[in-house]
Amino acid sequence: MTLRVGIIGAGPSGLAQLRAFESARQKGADIPEILCFEKQSDWGGQWNNSWRIGLDGSGEPVHSSMYRHLWSNGPKECLEFSDYSFDEHFGRPISSFPPREVLFDYIKGRVEKSDVRKYVRFNTVARHTTYNEATQEFTVTVEDLKTNLTETHVFDKLVVSTGHFHVPSAPEFKGIKTFPGEVLHAHDFRGAERFYGKNLLMIGSSYSAEDIGMQSHKMGAASITLSYRTAPMGYHWPANTVERPLVTHFLGPTAHFSDGTQGDFDAVVLCTGYQHKYPFLPSEMSLKSPNVLYPGNLYKGVVWQQNTNLFYLGAQDQYYTFNMFDAQAWFARDVMTGAIDLPSLADREADIQLWLKRQAALPDHDAEADFQTDYLRELIDATDYPPFDLDAVSQLFKDWMRHKHDDILGYRDMLHRSVVTGTMATKHHTRWLNAMDDSMERYLNGPSQDADNGAT
Ligand code: FAD
Ligand code: NA0
């Protein structure tokens, strides 16, 4: 009987799985029966953003945490698909840090070319899953959000690609209940325009805090205070931005910090990260992990230890994104079809433990980039995913981190070279700080919004 593969989620990871099978089909292989469920009406995952917060039009939790004026936070050269370059998609060189709509267009371009849309059931949410040990089959109950009808589908292999940056982690702070201003989580942030002239407090010290903070600066916030739990980010912030240790409590509009300082704020943004949540899976198949580069219990970061018919894509914290999801999907495909033989449970566990041990000893961000590079190398070496110069990409990550450290408001104006095509990015017509139109139309066609028209 033909293998039946179910995929839950059609974001970049789920699309990578579709593309992996399509690539095999184009090379003459028989491919399984594939069915992918996507709760939104279009694919793209986080990149298919929404103006909504809370619940979507079907009463489902809004998935995307992205917002207006979100520009790529890493160089596009670090995430380029090795089988579909930016040059191929845009037909000309572009800058290294495009806005969301441009990257969304790029993701879509590859899958539209591959004709894999036919495998996706849109507006269909996975509700419940069971696994029958005797038959080794998954039964997945899904709901068609247009008709509200539920159906069950039976699969031999199940791929979980629902992402892990959509269920907020929102800790309690003493007195926050009576804070008179706005309190929101980064997941519900849709744009910083309304923060013009306001005094803002971001709690958290990672990408969301940094980017929402600098978005707010760009849109004219009066001041930005970033409150960290473990360590400050330490960038060269603009003059209106400071880092403080953790908030101990709020008293009215005043936040008190653990170093004894205090400040009055108009709004608080909880940039405190996200939870891994898989409400459609039973607990024994559900990954529980903090946001780390190597979650435990997944062999090669992909195969569920206790049930090797179950796969997770994109479950780790991410330096690499689209190309890592590809490498994982190619690996998962080959495990599913038997092209890759899995070692015993004990050998798989030993391999996981080696990675976890190495992860625990990572001294800094450069080492983290190398760690994920080595992880990707193992996956790519095991499959026919088109190889690319991983050491060069690791160096790009390090250059990018150095640029960020030197100039948090200017790193997106830097240029990087593609390791896939060798093409050097072109300077964008507008410096990021001045770019107030993030549409693809403006990005591709200008005109510049720099006062000097981009001349310098
Ligand atoms: P997602 O993109 O989250 O897609 C998961 C999909 O699963 C969604 O389409 C969702 O609707 C669907 N789904 C969820 N639950 C169900 C269900 N029960 N049934 C059916 N479908 C379901 N990466 C970068 O490379 N560069 C960036 O600049 C960047 N910026 C980011 C900014 C923000 C604010 C966030 C949160 C993330 C950012 N990322 C960025 C990382 C981003 O998560 C990845 O690029 C990528 O979107 C992850 O793909 P994914 O498919 O694993 O998950
Ligand atoms: P993210 O920044 O939303 O990025 C997700 C942060 O929350 C850590 O700093 C952590 O501190 C802090 N935190 C957690 N619990 C806390 C508590 N109780 N009190 C105080 N602080 C707390 O989340 P994380 O997980 O990176 O950090 C959590 C993803 O979104 C990333 O992949 C990023 O790439 C993406 N993103 C991208 C962009 C752009 O591209 C913008 C935003 C987000 P600690 O102490 O654990 O260090 C533009």
pLDDT in tens for each of the 456 residues of the chain? 799 999 999 999 999 999 999 999 999 999 999 999 999 999 999 999 999 999 999 999 999 999 999 999 999 999 999 999 999 999 999 999 999 999 999 999 999 999 899 999 999 999 999 999 999 999 999 999 999 999 999 999 999 999 999 999 999 999 999 999 999 999 999 999 999 999 999 999 999 999 999 999 999 999 999 999 999 999 999 999 999 999 999 999 999 999 999 999 999 999 999 999 999 999 999 999 999 999 999 999 999 999 999 999 999 999 999 999 999 999 999 999 999 999 999 999 999 999 999 999 999 999 999 999 999 999 999 999 999 999 999 999 999 999 999 999 999 999 999 999 999 999 999 999 999 999 999 999 999 999 887 666
Rg (CA), the chain: 22
- The bound ligand whose nearest atom lies closest to the alpha carbon of 202 is 2
312, 297 contact by CB (below 8 A): no
Report which residue type is found at 102: V
d(CA 92, CA 184): 40
- Using a 6 Å cutoff on CB, does residue 247 contact ligand 1? no
- Give the number of the ligand closest to the Cα of residue 72: 1
State in Å: Cα 18 to ligand 1 middle: 16
Q: Which atom of ligand 1 is nearest to 125's Cα? A: 19
Decide: 13 in ligand 1 pocket, CB within 6 A. yes
- In the block, residue with structure tokens 């479950």: 315
* Beta-sheet strands, E only, within 309-396: 310-312
- Strand spans (E) along 122-161: 124-132, 137-144, 150-155, 157-160
- Distance in Å from the first CA to the final CA of the chain: 64
The Cα–Cα gap between 395 and 433 comes to 25
- Measured from CB, residues less than 6 Å from any atom of ligand 2 are 70, 72-73, 165, 169, 171, 186, 203-208, 211, 229-230, 246, 271-273, 291, 318
Question: Under a CB-based contact definition with an 8 Å cutoff, are residues 346 and 267 in contact?
Answer: no
Residue 115 confidence (pLDDT): 87
CB atoms within 10 A of CB 424: 13
Distance between Cα 291 and ligand 2 center (Å): 9
Whole-number Å distance, alpha carbon 46 to ligand 1 midpoint, is 4
Which positions ≥6 away from 59 have C-beta within 8 Å? none
Integer Cα distance of 15 and 317 in angstroms: 19
- What does pTM read for this prediction? 0.97
- Residue closest via CA to ligand 2's atom 21 equals 204
**And the tokens for 3?**
């293998």
- ipTM for this model: 0.98
CA atoms 440, 445, 448, 454: torsion sign:
positive
Give the number of the ligand closest to the Cα of residue 106.
1
| Pocket flag, ligand 1, residue 12 (CB < 6 Å) | yes
